[in-house]
Amino acid sequence: MKLLVTGGAGFIASNYIRYALSAHPDYHIINLDKLTYAGNLENLRDIESSNRYTFIKGDICDEKILEGMEFDAILNFAAESHVDRSILDAQPFLRTNIMGTYNLLEAARRRDCFFLQVSTDEVYGSIEKGFFNEDSPLLPNSPYAASKASSDMLVRAYVETHKLKAVITRCSNNYGPYQFPEKLIPLVILNAVNGKPIPVYGDGMNVRDWIHVTDHCRAVDAVFHRGAPGEVYNIGSRNERPNIEIIKLILKKVAEILDLDEAGLMDLISFVEDRKGHDRRYAIDPLKIEEGTGWKPEMSFEQGIEKTIEWYISNKDWWQRIISGEYMQYYNTQYGERLKD
Ligand code: NAD
Ligand code: DAU
């Protein structure tokens, strides 16, 4: 089996490639990645010399990129993925997330190969009470979420119109090793370690449903092997927490691990102006994937967050190279004004 994994140099897909190479010893994986600011080949250093792995630098929007390439299935992880960046400039989101997905769908249709679209719970918008299931209406609130909802619609249309064998997964918030530090959890860990203010949007009571990235990777793999073509599967781990609770938990753990003054770290918490269109709560009902594929999350949040904090603390070279590049410019644009007072 030859899989084309797109966006494999990013956070989730690099974890997926590592998982799939080890879980399926007869699989070959082609990683197609444009290497945007979020793509980092260091995420794959430990497996890059495997003879079952090939890297191709390329853009999923390039109509010619897949010419002559052979594979049995496409797993599309590639995307512009950060909500705050989509508020600053939505154009790259529309290009990659919509046109890129369209281009891959066309390639899958021509070859009649299986297609898995990695989507997000954000397509459903915000929910006050209860849980999103696969029949919840798509009500995206950020340009990022709207671009992901658009790509989901295209996948659906290719299933209905061209009978493409395709599935969609919609996962909640991931955390774990190799996550780019623009996202909440790595940002809090690094700012705590570096003694920098921790920006909390609004009142800090927005709720996310956190899942460890390896559980998400196992879920994608379960849907790929045991999901029914044409179906959508929500992925979540019933782990809802308000942001401020996550932040305090991380600061407490960092203080313990590095033997720092906990109260001093708590003083870094800085409430700042809210994100525009900030979704209040996401909550996923994962019953369909559990019953349909037998998948269940395995990592408890307490265990996962501790391992993640330890990973960032012991992989300083990895994040130091990132925060000394384009990231600082983004960080100053995003937080400079907000953190002023
Ligand atoms: P990421 O930003 O860490 O990685 C994205 C990768 O895609 C990078 O390697 C980047 O170089 C690559 N890429 C971007 N544009 C490309 C293009 N035009 N052509 C080829 N490659 C391109 O993202 P992530 O957090 O790992 O998310 C992966 C997928 O999972 C995305 O589709 C995202 O919407 C979805 N998702 C993410 C989360 C989360 O919590 N991070 C949750 C649910 C779903
Ligand atoms: O739900 C799945 C989605 O989760 C994915 O589709 C996205 O790709 C991924 O980025 C993530 O989106 P969020 O916007 O929920 O994640 P983020 O880490 O940006 O923010 C998590 C919460 O923390 C959110 O309520 C905003 C808040 N936040 C975030 C940052 C970066 C802060 O309070 N301060 C911050 O500095």
Residues 123 and 25 grouped into a single domain: yes
Residue 199's CATH number:
3.90.25.10
Cβ contacts of 87 within 8 Å, gap of 6 or more:
142, 143, 275, 276, 277
Mean pLDDT of 173-185: 98
Residues 66 and 163 grouped into a single domain: yes
Is 52 a member of any domain?
Answer: yes
Residues 122 and 252 grouped into a single domain: no
Is 138 a member of any domain?
Answer: yes
CA–CA dist 327, 120 (Å, integer): 24
- CB of 120 shorter than 6 A to ligand 1: yes
CA–CA dist 280, 74 (Å, integer): 33
Residues 27 and 142 grouped into a single domain: yes
The rounded Cα 192 to chain-centroid distance in angstroms is 22
Residue-range definition of the domain harbouring residue 202 = 184-207+240-272+288-327
Is 132 a member of any domain?
Answer: yes
CA–CA dist 17, 220 (Å, integer): 11
CA dihedral 257, 242, 173, 328 (to 10 degrees): -60
Residues 259 and 137 grouped into a single domain: no
Record the tokens describing residue 197, joined without a space: 């203010």
Is 258 a member of any domain?
Answer: yes
Number of the ligand 2 atom closest to the C-alpha atom of 174: 4
Residues 47 and 130 grouped into a single domain: yes
CA of 199 to the centre of ligand 2 (A): 12
Task: Kindly write down the DSSP assignment for every residue of 283-296, as one continuous string.
Answer: -B--HHHHHHH---
Per the structure, the count of domains in the chain is 2
Residues 130 and 265 grouped into a single domain: no
Residue 222's CATH number:
3.40.50.720
Is 105 a member of any domain?
Answer: yes
pLDDT digits (tens, 9 = 90+) for 96-138: 999 999 999 999 999 999 999 999 999 999 999 999 999 999 9
Is 339 a member of any domain?
Answer: no
- CB of 5 shorter than 6 A to ligand 1: no
Is 338 a member of any domain?
Answer: no
Higher pLDDT, 138 or 325: 138
Mean pLDDT of 271-296: 97
In terms of pTM, does the model score above 0.75? yes
Which pLDDT score is estimated for 340?
Answer: 79
Record the tokens describing residue 276, joined without a space: 């525009």
Which of 47, 31, 27 has its CA nearest to residue 39? 31
Partner residues linked to 241 by β-bridges: 208
Mean pLDDT of 290-309: 98
142 class by beta-carbon count within 10 Å (0-12 exposed, 13-18 middle, 19+ buried) = buried
Residues 226 and 293 grouped into a single domain: no
Number of the ligand 2 atom closest to the C-alpha atom of 171: 2
**Is it the case that residue 141 has pLDDT exceeding 70?**
yes
- CB of 33 shorter than 6 A to ligand 1: yes
Q: Do 83 and 146 meet the contact criterion of CB atoms below 8 Å apart?
A: no
Residues 189 and 143 grouped into a single domain: no
Residues 109 and 190 grouped into a single domain: no
Residue 246, SS3?
helix
Which pLDDT score is estimated for 325?
Answer: 86
Is 280 a member of any domain?
Answer: no
Mean pLDDT of 247-274: 98
Residues 102 and 216 grouped into a single domain: yes
CA–CA dist 252, 208 (Å, integer): 20
**Is it the case that residue 341 has pLDDT exceeding 90?**
no
CA of 159 to the centre of ligand 1 (A): 23
Which residues are annotated as catalytic? 121-122, 144
Residues 123 and 218 grouped into a single domain: yes
